[in-house]
Amino acid sequence: MGRINGLLLGTLVLLATTMNYSATAPAHDAPIKFDTAIENTVFEFYVNLFKYLFHSLVKTRELLESVLKDDTIVPNNNINRTKEQLQDYIAETTECLKPLPTNMTTLDGFLYIVANIHTINLFGDIVKRYNTTSLPTPTDEDRLIEATLKRHGLDELINNLKIRKTEFINEFLCKMDIVVTDLSEEDKIKNHKLVEWYQNYRNSTEEQRANDVFTHFAQMFARF
């Protein structure tokens, strides 16, 4: 872990502990100074990733909560296992969305993000599990759950999250284009891992970038 990494994480933790989760994070107002524009841009990306994950956890939890309250689900005693699975997801997001303790090490901050990514992936598993289009032999229960998820806005939510993700990725790339172009030779050398990572990321297709944001992000971390 290099200097930038520690700085980013330290600042994220600081931000996360002071920001009001239910409002949009006041990232830009925070009294934080970074040495270079490239660090600032990456930091913004990190904050946006954090905000995106937080928003995703809140919205996916809301969706499953409303599914569990649905009239077709509540009286059905034959789908207890599924109900438990959905409740487990809700419990896990609730755990994730707890405010960070004030005394956090920087590693904890990173693990917090990793835990949120892990939880969001569990939601992806649930969606996949009840996707009757791709199941070889969907049961009545699979159809019921899928229909209920859709009735409560699954497709809209997936689209909305994808748009958000694409937005902050594209915003990041636009800013990085300018920042990298303007880097002095000296700063280019100083930040060469970051520049290389960015160039690779830039080269992927939009679809790859949106799908792989977390993988790419983890790679970027590894490269600091």
Please choose, out of 32-40, 113-121, 167-175, 196-204, the segment that lies near ligand NAG by the rule CB under 6 A: 196-204
Q: How far apart are the C-alpha atoms of 134 and 77, rounded to whole Å?
A: 26
The tokens describing 83, both together, are 């109900």
Comparing CB distances to ligand NAG, the nearer of 35 and 185 is: 185
Q: Which of 10, 21, 201 is nearest to 116 (CA)?
A: 21
Comparing CB distances to ligand NAG, the nearer of 23 and 98 is: 23
Q: Which of residues 141-170 bind ligand NAG (CB under 6 A)?
A: 158
If one asks whether residue 184 binds ligand NAG (CB under 6 A), the answer comes out as: no
Ordered DSSP codes for 64-123? HHHHHTSTTTTT-GGGHHHHHHHHHHHHHHHHHTSPPPSS--HHHHHHHHHHHHHHHHHH
Q: How far apart are the C-alpha atoms of 187 and 114, rounded to whole Å?
A: 30
Rounded to a whole number of angstroms, the minimum distance from the CB of residue 198 to ligand NAG is 9
Site for ligand NAG (CB under 6 A): how many residues?
15
If one asks whether residue 22 binds ligand NAG (CB under 6 A), the answer comes out as: yes
Comparing CB distances to ligand NAG, the nearer of 43 and 197 is: 197
Rounded to a whole number of angstroms, the minimum distance from the CB of residue 158 to ligand NAG is 6
Q: How many CA atoms lie within 13 A of 78 on its CB side?
A: 7
Ordered DSSP codes for 14-80? HHHHHS-TTSPP-GGGS----SSHHHHHHHHHHHHHHHHHHHHHHHHHHHHHHHHTSTTTTT-GGGH
Rounded to a whole number of angstroms, the minimum distance from the CB of residue 137 to ligand NAG is 15
If one asks whether residue 121 binds ligand NAG (CB under 6 A), the answer comes out as: no
If one asks whether residue 20 binds ligand NAG (CB under 6 A), the answer comes out as: yes
Q: How far apart are the C-alpha atoms of 224 and 220, rounded to whole Å?
A: 7
If one asks whether residue 137 binds ligand NAG (CB under 6 A), the answer comes out as: no
Rounded to a whole number of angstroms, the minimum distance from the CB of residue 85 to ligand NAG is 13
Rounded to a whole number of angstroms, the minimum distance from the CB of residue 81 to ligand NAG is 9
Q: How far apart are the C-alpha atoms of 119 and 116, rounded to whole Å?
A: 5
If one asks whether residue 77 binds ligand NAG (CB under 6 A), the answer comes out as: yes
Rounded to a whole number of angstroms, the minimum distance from the CB of residue 176 to ligand NAG is 13
Where along the sequence are the contacts to ligand NAG (CB under 6 A)? 20, 22-23, 77-78, 80, 103, 127, 131, 133-134, 158, 199-200, 203
